[in-house]
Amino acid sequence: MKRPAMQMTLRMKQKGVVLFIALIVLVAMTLAGIALMRSVDTATVIAGNLAFKQSTLQSADQGVDAAYQWLLTNSGAAALNNDSTAAGYFSARPFPEPDWSNANSWANAFTLNNGAADAAGNVVSYIIHRMCTEANTAFNGNHSATGTANQCGLNFPISGGAGGSKGTPPAITVASNPQVYYRITSRSAGPRNTETITQTMVAVTN
């Protein structure tokens, strides 16, 4: 008569152990699920940030194109000899080189769309520097106050005709009006504090 009572006691103890193990497994599965959700959320945020960064890079190209078009519009004119801060243009390269990640360096930049964001939510600005040593001076002139000769990065386009039948080299002609080098620094600021800064060198006839 005693043996059935002992079997019942053992069964009750076994049921308690199973419940304890089940609780441990449930807690472990819950923690694993939370970790998985956080991992997925982090991956989604990273993917979103990369997309926003790529968007700012594409928008920065708009600033480069707008600055280049401004230079072409004013090429061959004396306007390029002088600063035009309203247009984000400076007739000499900066010294020392600005910290482009500092917002103060963009105080005199020209902002596209009157400062409004584009369709991707990016605000694009640019600054143009003529690669010369003297501001407000012709590329081949001397500074009016100091008399210092202006030194600029120049490109002299050349052209040549066909050579002679006896192996004579072709005549090479150097353009009398050289192209001056300009540096365009473009900045695109987008959502989630994303930012892209690019610099492009172009040569335009002065």
The residue among 32 and 94 whose pLDDT is bigger is 94
User: How far apart, in whole angstroms, are the C-alpha atoms of residue 182 and residue 184?
Assistant: 7
The residue among 201 and 156 whose pLDDT is bigger is 201
Residue 25 resides in a domain: no
**Would you say 204 and 79 are in contact if contact means Cβ atoms under 8 Å apart?**
no
Q: Is the pLDDT of residue 194 over 70?
A: yes
Q: What percent of the chain has pLDDT over 70?
A: 75
User: pTM for the whole thing?
Assistant: 0.71
Give the model's pLDDT for residue 57.
84
Classify the C-alpha dihedral 196-197-202-206 as positive or negative. positive
The residue among 151 and 56 whose pLDDT is bigger is 151
Give the model's pLDDT for residue 31.
81
Q: What percent of the chain has pLDDT over 90?
A: 47
Residue 192 resides in a domain: yes
The angle subtended at Cα 80 by Cα 78 and Cα 83, nearest 5°, is 115
Question: Could you read off the pLDDT of 24-64 as tens digits, one per residue?
Answer: 888 888 887 777 777 666 666 665 666 667 788 888 999 99
- Total domains in the chain come to 1
Can you tell me whether residue 202 is helix, strand or coil? strand
Residue 31 resides in a domain: no
Q: What are residue 53's phi and psi, to 5 degrees?
A: -65, -45
What is the average per-residue pLDDT within 176-201?
90
Give the model's pLDDT for residue 6.
56
Q: Is the pLDDT of residue 200 over 80?
A: yes
Residue 114 resides in a domain: yes
Residue 70 resides in a domain: yes
Give me the domain span that covers residue 173.
59-205
Transcribe 64-132 into DSSP letters: HHHHHHHHHHHTTSGGGGS-BGGGTEESS--SSPP-TTSGGGGTT-EEGGGG---TTS-EEEEEEEESB
**Would you say 147 and 172 are in contact if contact means Cβ atoms under 8 Å apart?**
no
The residue among 123 and 173 whose pLDDT is bigger is 123
**Would you say 190 and 100 are in contact if contact means Cβ atoms under 8 Å apart?**
no
User: How far apart, in whole angstroms, are the C-alpha atoms of residue 82 and residue 179?
Assistant: 16
User: How far apart, in whole angstroms, are the C-alpha atoms of residue 56 and residue 66?
Assistant: 15
Q: Is the pLDDT of residue 129 over 80?
A: yes
